[in-house]
Amino acid sequence: MNNVPVWGWILLIALIGVGWKCLFLITRAFPFNSDEAITGLMARHILQGERPIFFYGQAYMGSLDAFLSAGLFALLGESILPIRIVQTILYTCTIITTAFIGRKLTDDWKVGLLGSLFVAIPTVNVTLYTTVSLGGYGEALLFANLAFLIVFYMADCGRLDITKDIVLFGLLAFVTGVGFWAFGISLSGTLPASIYGLILIWRRWRKKRAIFAGFLIAFLVFFIIGSFPWWLAGLNAGIGIQLRELAGSAVSIEKGNWILRTGSHLFNFIFLGLPAVFGFRPPWEIRWLVLPLLPFVLFGWGLVFWRFPSEFKKVNQPYRERWLVLLGSMLLLAAGFLFTSFGLDPSGRYFLPLVVPFSLIAAHIIISAPISSSIRSIVIILLLSFHGIGTVQAAMKNPPGITTQFDPVSWIDHQYDQELMVFLRENDEGYGYSNYWVAYPLAFQSGEELIFPPRLPYHTDFRYTTRDDRIPAYTLRVENSSKTAYITTFNPDLDTALRSGFERLDVTWQEKVIGDYHIYFDLSRPVHPSELNPELQQQPGIGDP
């Protein structure tokens, strides 16, 4: 290591991270699902002049990801690849900043470099959600890292320097604000960093209250500037609505009292979430990965967390405070999962911000452990191999591949998409209805020629939410169309209901199966879901406009 400059190692690790993602992109391990398609559609609409503030249908997640994708669309054209290049760039920046954070935490580049290497070849959960766009996870990771770095640089400024303090504190506020708009989960990192920054400013300027008050005002101003789109939307829709969205109202379908809900979230956190975080299982299903190595990795992580408290006691100031910022981010994330409706989703996506703290904790323990260099190397290789083999093992089971969807009814084999689009065009079936997992990939890949808004349920029990209909303009176009077709997937009961409804309405039709897609076409007249409510009565109002 002494013969290679630090920047050389950082560059090498970043290239390893990029190469690792490229391996799975080239092999098409990631299916193109509806959430990612919406990012692409938003990016296309941005290039056409629209300026959305939030991810379509999710007012807790800003449109920054779509704007970044639109920028690459302008350079590379509209396809799936630019969306994923954006995620790769964001995550590469996260890898690089992790190295600097490790250095600031321990005054040791070895910890930073090893931590960034663990981030470069992470678990399948992290690989998935930092490659496929879901609206803001990559940005949330990067903004948290930037906030950590900024406040740690503030801590390094020993003497009073109002210019440097105001620049760094204002930058911290701006990063926190942009992250707040892009995705509220970034607050798990930016909020502890901001609190630490405020403590630092108080220590330095508490005797000059006017100046300290100026810092507070500056922080508020720069935070509002960074999060301005959020406040603009709040003025139009209501701040209360925005805050409820931020707290998880979009996924709030729980019943029972607060204690039972929190207990359920705790179960999800311990028995489903953490195994996904550590790479013991893929986030979309319950099956063990790399079973021969799993006991050793489990034992190793146990040693890491058993040893960390004793190592933490040895840490001197100012490094102890910096570790507390990182630990605070972990606790805040856990609290957010336990006490909000986001605790319903144990897939692993909401635990993504743990990757940097866990990687740096592991790196610190491995580097500081009183073991020989050969044993240290074996431990590092073991953990990286576990991450790598687990990701490859998950990718080899395709479908579903490395997927964001944890409900098997949404595991659509998209290799038939082109054949589906050819069939629909040849039969002049450009408009109709389908479910959420069909509608938006079809719209994006067809250049919005094939419009099938999600007015049908994908759940086999016919559960449905109108929030699935993310682009109301699509529905209006279909309602005014002279022809409609229907596309279903993995839902025999829905197929039966559609046939019964068509017969009741004296409508004739034809059927075609292409891969996982079941198409009802050549209807003798347009039929809209509101006309099929008697057959879909398990979900009243499913066809309401």
Q: What local confidence, expressed as pLDDT, does residue 116 receive?
A: 99
Determine how many CB atoms are found less than 10 A away from the CB of residue 375.
Answer: 11
Determine how many CB atoms are found less than 10 A away from the CB of residue 108.
Answer: 16
Q: Is 1 exposed, middle or buried (0-12, 13-18, 19+ CB in 10 A)?
A: exposed
DSSP conformational letter for 136: S
DSSP conformational letter for 431: B
Inside any domain, residue 315: yes
Tell me, yes or no, whether 92 and 19 share the same domain: yes
Residue finishing a domain among 348, 367, 396: 396
What whole-number distance in Å separates Cα of residue 113 and Cα of residue 11? 10
Q: What local confidence, expressed as pLDDT, does residue 2 receive?
A: 67
Domain count across the chain: 2
Inside any domain, residue 349: yes
What whole-number distance in Å separates Cα of residue 277 and Cα of residue 122? 10
What amino acid occupies position 211?
Answer: I
Show pLDDT as tens, one digit a residue, over the chain (545 residues).
Answer: 667 899 999 999 999 999 999 999 999 999 999 999 999 999 999 999 999 999 998 888 999 999 999 999 999 999 999 999 999 999 999 999 999 999 999 999 999 999 999 999 999 999 999 999 998 999 999 999 999 999 999 999 877 789 999 999 999 999 999 999 999 999 999 999 999 999 999 999 988 989 999 999 999 999 999 999 999 988 887 777 778 777 766 665 666 778 888 999 999 999 999 999 999 999 999 999 999 999 999 999 999 999 999 999 999 888 999 999 999 999 999 999 999 888 888 888 999 999 999 999 999 999 999 999 999 999 999 999 999 999 999 999 988 999 999 889 999 999 999 999 999 999 999 999 999 999 999 999 999 999 999 999 999 989 888 989 999 999 999 999 999 999 999 999 999 999 999 999 999 999 999 999 999 999 999 999 999 999 987 544 444 43
Residue finishing a domain among 396, 422, 441: 396
Cβ atoms of 46 and 66 within 8 Å: the answer is yes
505-545 pLDDT tens trace: 999 999 999 999 999 999 999 999 999 999 987 544 444 43
Tell me, yes or no, whether 153 and 235 share the same domain: yes
Helix axes 80-106, 64-76, angle to 10 degrees: 120
Q: What local confidence, expressed as pLDDT, does residue 300 receive?
A: 97
What does the longest C-alpha to C-alpha distance in the chain come to? 83
Inside any domain, residue 402: no
Element (H, E) at 394: helix 373-396
Q: What local confidence, expressed as pLDDT, does residue 544 receive?
A: 42
Q: What local confidence, expressed as pLDDT, does residue 545 receive?
A: 37
Residue finishing a domain among 372, 396, 420: 396
Tell me, yes or no, whether 11 and 51 share the same domain: yes
Tell me, yes or no, whether 379 and 424 share the same domain: no
What whole-number distance in Å separates Cα of residue 321 and Cα of residue 307? 19
Q: What local confidence, expressed as pLDDT, does residue 35 receive?
A: 94
Tell me, yes or no, whether 149 and 125 share the same domain: yes
Write down the residue that tokens 């508490």 correspond to. 206
Domain extent, residue 218, equals: 6-396
